[in-house]
Amino acid sequence: MAAQFGGMGIDLSKGVVANYDLSVDLNFPQTIGFGIAYKASPKLNSLLILNGLTGKKLLTR
């Protein structure tokens, strides 16, 4: 196995170390939701779902 890594320029006798510098900037809109259900009879269900989105980027488009 060392020969296979050696072919790629990796010397396992020196150990393996990896350093990464990564920065991520994620922006998600704020969401809010509300739901209510009512069982009117054994065969009839009523459901009301309200969802709202807010966010600076969403409102400026």
pLDDT in tens, 2-55: 677 777 777 777 777 777 788 888 877 778 888 999 998 989 999 998 888 765
Stated pTM of the model:
0.36
pLDDT at position 57: 52
Token digits of residue 36: 């209510």
pLDDT at position 44: 93
Residue 59, pLDDT > 60, answer no
Residue type, 38: Y
* Banded model confidence at residue 61, pLDDT cuts 50, 70, 90: very low
CA distance 44 to 37: 11
